[in-house]
Amino acid sequence: MTEQTYQAGSLSSDCRFVAKTGRLAAGGLLLAGAAWVARAVWEVRLALAGEPASGPPDQGGGEHRPLNSLENSYHLVTSLGGGAVVLCALLFLSWLARVRDNARALSGEEPKYAGIWLYLGWIVPLVNLWFPRGIVADAFRRTAPGRRLPVSVDVWWVLWVIGMLSGVGLLYEDSTDEIITRAYTEVWPLLASDAAVVGAAVAGALAVRAVTAVQTERMRATERASAVPTGAPPAA
């Protein structure tokens, strides 16, 4: 589909929809960032409180001691944070699918990455180190050929990868009780990872806003051009 095949009514609708999904995706990212700030606060509280005389929650050999109130509240914070991340992922993927489809329509060219990578690109090892950023960058470049990719896109992705590879970020493998133990004994790596995730969330929200704004601008320009009657002289 090329610009010329766009209908004015469809353009108006798509323009409003991508702006709406962009706002929701940016909000979801900031919500996830706030959840990770809360995690960091609780990890500092755990570090300051110090490990109880009874030892870590996971006693080894399949034995777990009863959690104290601070440890229980950390479990609650991480559960709420997990919910925020799921919501963020759904909103971000909805936005990403929309800008990808719009970029294809505006450019008349097929995207660089097949649609399945919108989802698998986040979880397939090695591929998840660059495919998601590539999908965002491809949508931007097809929307605005020749324009420089927003710096926020690269900042978002670098911080995301740092948080992911740190082992305690969004895709950590440790259980919550193991994270609690680490907060008691080595809180600084946890906080560094949290900072990377929060930074990625903020940069991601800025990237979403930047890409959405460029695409909205292009779609509105196309709509204005399509509204000019054929043969009419250009506006002064």
Domain spans of the chain, in order of start? 3-227
CB atoms within 10 A of CB 50: 9
Task: Report the number of secondary-structure helices (H) and strands (E) in the chain.
Answer: 7, 2
User: How far apart are the C-alpha atoms of 200 and 165, rounded to whole Å?
Assistant: 13
pLDDT of residue 67: 92
pLDDT higher than threshold 80 for residue 10: no
Spell out a b/e string for 80-106, using b for 16 or more CB atoms within 10 Å of the CB, else e. Answer: ebeebbebbbebbbbbbbbbbbbbbbb
User: How far apart are the C-alpha atoms of 133 and 219, rounded to whole Å?
Assistant: 22
Q: What are phi and psi of 57, to 5 degrees?
A: -60, -40
DSSP state at residue 148: P
Percent of the chain with pLDDT over 90: 61
Beta bridge partners of 60: 63
**What is the average per-residue pLDDT within 133-155?**
95
Categorize the per-residue pLDDT at 11 as very low, low, confident or very high, splitting at 50, 70 and 90. Answer: low
Q: What is the tens place of the pLDDT at every residue in 83-95?
A: 999 999 999 999 9
**What is the average per-residue pLDDT within 120-141?**
93
Beta bridge partners of 79: none
Angle at 192 between CA 30 and CA 64, to 5 degrees: 95
Angle at 14 between CA 204 and CA 1, to 5 degrees: 105
| Look-up of token digits 């020749």 | 146
Categorize the per-residue pLDDT at 14 as very low, low, confident or very high, splitting at 50, 70 and 90. Answer: low
Give which of 143, 185, 163 is closest to 35, Cα–Cα.
163
Q: What is the tens place of the pLDDT at every residue in 188-227?
A: 999 999 999 999 999 999 999 999 999 998 888 877 776 6
Q: What is the tens place of the pLDDT at every residue in 41-77?
A: 999 999 999 999 888 888 877 788 899 999 999 999 9
Categorize the per-residue pLDDT at 108 as very low, low, confident or very high, splitting at 50, 70 and 90. Answer: confident
Mean pLDDT score across all residues of the chain = 86
pLDDT of residue 217: 87
Give which of 44, 35, 38 is closest to 182, Cα–Cα.
44
